[in-house]
Amino acid sequence: MKLIFFSFLFGLFSLYSCENKPQTVSPPMLETKTVEDNSTHSASRSIDLSLLEIPQGGSEGTIISHLGYALSYNHQNLTPNWVAYELTAEEANGQVPRSNCYAEDPDIKGRQATLDDYRGSGWDRGHLAPAADMKWSPQAMDESFYLSNMCPQNQTFNGGSWETTEKMGRRIAKQYGKVYIVCGPIYTDHQFGTIGANKVAVPDAFFKAFLIESNGTYAAIGFLMQNVPEHQDLKASSMSIDELEDIIHLDLFHNLDDAVENEIEAQVVKKYWGI
């Protein structure tokens, strides 16, 4: 009986802690540049579109910049089109505790997913920019729990195959000093339908791409994994960026010099990735 009582108190404390945290304020962001795809922008935030991790093209969305990552939010699927960020070795060694304070994104105007949509759905609130990559700042940690950074994920996939890509990102950030990461959901057959009253679309699969620079040479690799519980090996899920772009209809790492982009996106140089 005591155990049940204390568990109840802990649940109340956790809820109170999340709902009553002081709001953080982001530092000023760089001015918004001309958008060449179908994206629109939130009036409250802006982003430097020349950053190497920011993709081009794809579905129409609202581009938002938070302290640790940027995203394009799809108001139809109620999930991000993509999430992109740079992760440095120092950031990958951060020590800020995990927040667990899931919340709607205050910078998104219009339709977005809610906590009620996920509650009791059987699907995880799966991070795209993982909390473990945001341990360098309390604000970055808190903002990683915005639902705009989430997609419905199979629970086993979230804590298994998808997590292996997250760990790989931190490993190569430490190895090369930094890594540029872009990831997002893939919708093909909509085989898993939607969840919640707002009909949040459950992705069929997910993609992730890494870009690193080593001794003046760039290298990139892409991954595609299905949103299912079966184990998916990193090596078997890997592909060139050109192959991935043909599937996701995004232009990844387009801010590189064209000659460099064309060379590194056509092949995967295995020595860089340890898989």
Q: Is 127 a catalytic residue?
A: yes
Nearest to 265 by CA among 206, 211, 185: 211
CA distance 26 to 108: 15
Q: In this structure, are residues 173 and 91 in contact, taking their beta carbons and an 8 Å threshold?
A: yes
The distance between the two most distant Cα atoms of the chain, rounded to a whole number of Å, is 68
CB atoms within 10 A of CB 32: 16
Token reading at 129: 């920019």
Cα→Cα distances 73→110, 117, 185, Å: 11, 17, 11
The single residue of 41, 66, 75, 127 carrying the catalytic annotation is 127
Tell me which DSSP letter residue 123 carries: -
Vertex 108, ends 104 and 110: CA angle to 5°?
100
Tell me the residue length of the chain: 275
209 three-state secondary structure: strand
Tell the burial category of 259 from Cβ atoms under 10 Å away from its Cβ (0-12, 13-18, 19+).
exposed
Give the residue numbers annotated as catalytic, written as ranges: 127
